[in-house]
Amino acid sequence: MTVLYAEHLLTNAGWVRSARVHLTQGRIATIQIGAAPQAGDERHAVIVPAVSNLHSHAFQRGMAGLAEMRGPGNDDFWSWRDTMYRFASRMSPQQLQAVAAQAYMEMLEAGYCRVGEFHYLHHDIDSRPYGDPGEMVARIAAAAEDTGIGLTLLPVFYAHSSFGGQPPRPAQARFITDLDSYARIVERSREVVASLPAGVAGVAPHSLRAVTPDELAQVVRLLPGKPVHIHIAEQMNEVRDCVAWSGLTPVRWLLENAAVDARWCLVHATHVDSDELKGIAHAGAVAGLCPVTEANLGDGIFPAADFLAAAGRFGVGTDSNVCISLSGELALLEYTQRLSRKARNVIGLHSRSTGAALFERALHGGAAALGVSTAGITEGNAADLVSLSIEEPAMICRAGDSLIDSWLFASQSGVVDCVWVGGQRLVEQGCHRQRRRVRHAYAEAMKELCA
């Protein structure tokens, strides 16, 4: 049995001092509060729960920074997507695994314990299916196993280029499946996550652009009770095209035509009105917010304060992985609300600080979206933990919620010290245990991709 001693411990019941956390078989067995440390205890100043990253396209980590040049006209999401398609068209299974492992390692070093991989790179470079339809999902699972991050694998169903069943574009050929071939990829996804500790498989209709109503209904039925993730209203063009097709905005269409419930995660529900926000909240779905990517792509600002007023749940995701930072996502989420409302401390609770309120909501919303029923530090839960360094200047003389505030809003890096997933310590002094090897494989893959 491992015992962690924390001077400050953020439990699901709030902060406690001088706690001994007993870990057995990957879980938190008992928590002793107000105890003295004992010989053999691992001593840490601050321990908080690790958070789920609910939305990632791991392969895009390799193109981070390659789409920051303005073209001849207005640059937007769609020109970024062209760059992404060119990058995706060249990637081999081995390269995907190396790039995903690098992304997952960085997520762990940022304080994430689990990733929701929204995976759509299914076919070979020539667009033909691999002999094993699960070739690429197995590579994602291998990258998760290699780094130790928890995996919720969300194979994507992608069949059309736009609303009303438009034929796919040539650049989308590696992503495209029919329902039968998709079902085989889902089955292989179930198999590969079964070999991982706490692996989960769900389904991911890519967007209302990419599926027909009938296909959506069939995809959602494939894995009863498991997570359903969809890109929903990221771009105004997408909203306008949906209205032209159906007379309804994407969120309204989904709420009226699908049995949206707590299984669902609506990623990029950026462009919504107040009734739609209430509808998402009432359905119990999680809003998947990716503030750094949404800012990078110029998507828009999700009205988070109105959503929380409607008792909505949210989690955060690193999406394009342009910059992997848990503190960065949560700080930017709050800052975009401040900028749009010309106010401070928008996503707050009266009894908690803004940072603590953001962190707690992302913790529980992220886990729920990834099919994990319970999150946070309490007896019986998985030992998914982060220790924070109080040596960093921003963290000196902090206690309680101000530890979270100073981490999210006032530090550059270096605050995350150790990270445990299922009781395994994967990160020490801010560095993943396999950092040199994972980084070397990533560098080799990138040299090949950029040649």
Encoding tokens for residue 404?
A: 């979270």
Of the pair 215, 319, the CB lying nearest Zn ion is at: 319
Catalytic residue among 146, 241, 299, 319: 319
Tokens 């997507």, residue? Answer: 81
Of the pair 241, 319, the CB lying nearest Zn ion is at: 319
Q: Please state the closest distance from residue 290 (CB atom) to Zn ion, in A.
A: 7
Exposed, middle or buried, 71 (CB in 10 Å: 0-12/13-18/19+)?
A: exposed
Catalytic (active site) residue 319: yes
Q: How many CB atoms lie within 10 A of CB 244?
A: 10
**Between the CA atoms of 137, 143, 147 and 153, what dihedral angle is there, to the nearest 10 degrees?**
-20
Of the pair 276, 319, the CB lying nearest Zn ion is at: 319
Of the pair 146, 319, the CB lying nearest Zn ion is at: 319
Span from 64-72, 237-245, 314-322, 372-380 in contact with Zn ion (CB under 5 A) = 314-322
348 has which bridge partners?
none
Catalytic residue among 268, 271, 364, 432: 268
CB 376 within 8 A of CB 364: yes
Q: Please state the closest distance from residue 229 (CB atom) to Zn ion, in A.
A: 9
Of the pair 57, 435, the CB lying nearest Zn ion is at: 57
Residues binding Zn ion: number (CB under 5 A) = 1
Q: Which of residues 349-368 bind Zn ion (CB under 5 A)?
A: none
Encoding tokens for residue 148?
A: 């130790």
Q: How far apart are CA 344 and CA 110, in angstroms?
A: 25
Span from 154-162, 313-321, 342-350, 355-363 in contact with Zn ion (CB under 5 A) = 313-321
Q: Which amino acid is at 35?
A: A
Span from 73-81, 126-134, 294-302, 315-323 in contact with Zn ion (CB under 5 A) = 315-323
Catalytic (active site) residue 44: no
Of the pair 150, 317, the CB lying nearest Zn ion is at: 317
For 397-413, letters b (16+ CB in 10 Å) and e give ebeebebbbbbbbbbee
Span from 68-76, 245-253, 318-326, 343-351 in contact with Zn ion (CB under 5 A) = 318-326
Q: Please state the closest distance from residue 421 (CB atom) to Zn ion, in A.
A: 23
What mask, x for binding Zn ion by CB under 5 A, covers residues 6 to 45? ----------------------------------------
Closest of 298, 299, 300, 334 to residue 316, by C-alpha: 334
Q: Please state the closest distance from residue 344 (CB atom) to Zn ion, in A.
A: 30
Residue number of the CB atom closest to Zn ion: 319
DSSP annotation of 352:
B
Strands (E) located in 182-312: 200-201, 204-205, 228-231, 264-267, 286-289
Closest of 89, 72, 93, 73 to residue 81, by C-alpha: 89
Q: How far apart are CA 130 and CA 136, in angstroms?
A: 9
Residue numbers of the site for Zn ion (CB under 5 A)? 319
Active-site positions? 268, 319
